[in-house]
Amino acid sequence: MRGRMWKLAIYLFLLGFILNLLGIVTHVVVSSFAKRWFGKPLPPAFTTDWFTYAWREFELSHVLFITLFIALAVVFIALAIGFPAAYVLARRNFNAKPVLLLLYFLPLLIPQMTYGIPLATTLYGFGVGGTVIGVILAVLVPMVPLAVFVLLPFFEQISLNLEWSAQMLGASRLQIFRRILLPLMLPGILTAGLLVLVNTISNFELAFLLAGGGSQTLVVALYYNVFAGGVRPVYSIDAMAVIYMCTVMAVLLVALRFVRPTQMVFRLDGRRN
Amino acid sequence: MARIRSDSRSELDLVAILCLAPSLLYVLAMFVYPFLYGIYISLQPKKRDAGIFSNYVAFFNDAYQYNTIKTTFMLALPTTVAVVLAALFLAYGMRRGIWFERTITTILVLPISLGVVFLSEGILGFYGHNGWLNQLLLAAGLIENPLELTHNSIGVTFSLFMQNFPFCFLMLLGYISGIDPSLESSARMLGAGPWTIFRRVMFPLIAPGLIIAFALVFVMSFAVFPSAVMVGQPAGSTRTISIAAYQQAFEQYDMSYASAIAVIMGLCQLAALVVIVLVRRRMTIATTMGVGKR
């Protein structure tokens, strides 16, 4: 009996959480299609004009292009320099390894707002603040470690024997990489790439601190419009939020085909190695 | 070949170093260096003749500034307690699996990936003065006047909860389902009730993970920025320390003072971590981790 009450409480809690999430998301979606909406449960008339309005007024084609450019650049660089690092960290033993793992873990552990301000100061000092390059450089700080820590367990799953056998059969390092590691690591690379992609698109703090006029990502532009509330009709801001949501959802739907959700969070026991 | 020397501690050869170098240099140049640089310029005040600690002195002499620490703390602590308790409740209940587990975990991941800006915009609409919740409660006759849930600390707490709960839940679920199930069945066989099992067997095993989760959620909540601005009252009751730092940096253009505030923010988070680690030390940590569901 008590066990059943317990189960019921859990399902009620889940139901509450899901309903509340659904309410939050639906409200934004409904509002983006509303002609005028004030004090009624549903708007009296619907329109799609706010999407064209948002697309035109917020220069969303440009913002989307910038967002995707930044995201793809970050994914490419994070994988390019994270992949070899993850390989060495998974395969080799050396004295400094725990220190190195801790160092790579810090950017993920420390809130971005805390190191974002000194980082922004430094990057503005080098003259790249407010540019696309500045945003890419800043967002990479947590994304390189993220790529390393996602790739690491994938390397550990590949048997060392495969590399030894290839070496015995006379394969060069490049051949081992191209013929053995790369094909076997494909799921890992996809997982890491998609996680970095989702996280870059929804990254706010660092992109916000480094963004200038022409280098705002979608989420930063959305923030500025919500912040300047009253200047723009709220429906158009919600239309923009819906466009943002669809972008993230599209990436996420692809991602969830490859990634288990629990991989998005670091395993507690993995941290101590 | 590196393998031949595998009994020695160091297996770093030239190739390994070359593989590590780019990412290591990046972290050093873009993370460690700015951190040190931030500490350095926080000691170089804008005013020429001021002493090196004048930014810190100014911060702690200005009630408008130093009160942000209290404001942030009062937001972060209740949020963290609520998040960790709710996540423990749910993760403990789900430790042996439930219906639609994959769907549920997927739904729980959504708030993380939607990001705090979208969530805050939705919270403003749904929980706002004219939002659906107030309309529903008014129509049901449960309240007479609309509840003020946004543009104050309740809204920020709620936004932080939505953002941190899924993260904390998934972490605890992974941790709890890693505990050997046979421990629980042994306890049950020896006649322990559900409450005794939780208090005497499971909780000591969960505690280390719980403390880490608590620390992470607290540190993340302490740096709250976008939700404090959007669903809070950034000029008043939810003026957190990160807002103070941001204003110095990008409204007053005083990078030195801003870095000082960022350093203070970092030190507060560090202090919280130290306290949490000390608490963890004092507890007797059970080390029996089995291989359960993964």
Tell whether the model's pLDDT for residue B117 goes beyond 90.
no
Using one digit for the tens of pLDDT, what is the confidence trace for B125-146? 888 888 888 888 888 888 888 8
Report pLDDT for A270: 42
The reply to whether residue A10 touches residue B9, judged by beta carbons under 8 angstroms, is no
Best of A265, A266, A271 to disrupt the B interface by mutation (most B CBs within 10 Å)?
A265
Using one digit for the tens of pLDDT, what is the confidence trace for B238-285? 899 999 999 998 888 888 899 999 999 999 999 988 888 888 777 755
**Cα–Cα dist B7/A115, whole Å:** 39
Size of interface A-B (CB pairs under 8 A): 258
pLDDT confidence bin for B288, thresholds 50/70/90: very low
Q: Map residue B292 onto helix, strand or coil.
A: coil
The reply to whether residue A198 touches residue B245, judged by beta carbons under 8 angstroms, is no
Q: Where are the alpha helices (H) located in A33-172, listed in sequence order?
A: 49-57, 60-91, 97-109, 112-125, 132-157, 160-168
Considering the entire predicted model, what is its pTM? Answer: 0.85
Give the fold, CATH level 3, of A76-228.
MetI-like fold (1.10.3720)
Using one digit for the tens of pLDDT, what is the confidence trace for B147-197? 888 888 888 999 999 989 988 988 888 888 888 889 888 998 998 888 898
Listed by number, the residues of chain B in 181-200 with a beta carbon closer than 8 Å to a beta carbon of chain A are 194
**Cα–Cα dist B168/B175, whole Å:** 11
Chain A residue nearest residue B172, CA to CA: A268
**What value of ipTM does the predicted structure carry?**
0.84
Report pLDDT for B26: 95
Using one digit for the tens of pLDDT, what is the confidence trace for B4-54? 444 445 777 888 888 899 999 999 999 999 999 999 989 888 777 777 888
Query: What is the b/e burial string over B229-251, where b = at least 16 CB atoms within 10 angstroms of the residue's CB?
Result: bbbbbbeebbbbbbbbbbbbbbe
Is A228 buried (19+), middle (13-18) or exposed (0-12) by CB count in 10 A?
Answer: exposed
Residue with tokens 């006649």: B191
Tell whether the model's pLDDT for residue B77 goes beyond 90.
yes
Domain ranges of chain A: 24-57+232-261, 76-228
Q: By the 8 A CB rule, do B213 and B90 touch?
A: no
Whether B27 and chain A come into contact, CB under 8 Å, resolves to yes
The reply to whether residue A95 touches residue B10, judged by beta carbons under 8 angstroms, is yes
Is B127 buried (19+), middle (13-18) or exposed (0-12) by CB count in 10 A?
Answer: buried
Report pLDDT for B32: 94
Q: For residue B259, which residues of chain A lie inside 8 Å, CB to CB?
A: 117-118, 121
Cα–Cα distances in angstroms (integers) from residue A57 to residues A54, A118, A131, A179, A234, in the given order: 5, 33, 21, 50, 13
Q: Which amino acid is at A182?
A: L
- Of B15, B105, B118, nearest to A241 by CB-CB distance is B118
Average pLDDT, integer, range B192-215: 89
**Cα–Cα dist B294/B292, whole Å:** 6
Q: By the 8 A CB rule, do A248 and A240 touch?
A: no
**Cα–Cα dist B1/A228, whole Å:** 62
Neighbours of A125 (CB within 10 A): 13
Residue with tokens 């640089």: B37
Domains identified in chain B and CATH numbers: 1-42 (no CATH), 52-284 (1.10.3720.10)
The reply to whether residue A28 touches residue B37, judged by beta carbons under 8 angstroms, is no
- Of B2, B117, B132, nearest to A204 by CB-CB distance is B117
Cα–Cα distances in angstroms (integers) from residue B30 to residues A199, A208, B22, B35, B254, in the given order: 18, 17, 12, 9, 21
- Of B34, B165, B242, nearest to A119 by CB-CB distance is B34
Backbone angles phi, psi at B13, to 5 degrees: -110, -175
Q: Tell me the pLDDT of chain A (273 aa) as tens digits.
A: 667 888 888 889 989 998 989 999 998 999 889 887 777 778 888 888 889 888 888 888 999 999 999 999 999 999 999 999 999 998 888 888 889 999 998 998 888 988 999 999 899 989 898 899 999 999 999 999 999 998 988 888 888 888 889 989 988 888 888 888 888 888 889 888 988 998 899 899 999 999 987 889 999 998 888 877 667 888 888 898 999 999 888 887 777 776 655 554 444 444 333
Listed by number, the residues of chain B in 47-106 with a beta carbon closer than 8 Å to a beta carbon of chain A are 86, 89-90, 93-94, 98, 102, 104-106
Chain A residue nearest residue B104, CA to CA: A14
Report pLDDT for A260: 59
Cα–Cα distances in angstroms (integers) from residue A123 to residues A127, A207, B249, B257, B282, in the given order: 6, 12, 13, 17, 42
Report pLDDT for B141: 83
Average pLDDT, integer, range B196-222: 89
The CA-based angle A81-A82-A85, given to 5 degrees, is 95
Here the tokens at position B245 are 């730092």
The reply to whether residue B259 touches residue A117, judged by beta carbons under 8 angstroms, is yes
- Measure the N-to-C terminal CA separation of chain B; round to a whole number of Å: 36
Percentage of residues in chain B having pLDDT higher than 90: 29
Average pLDDT, integer, range B95-111: 77
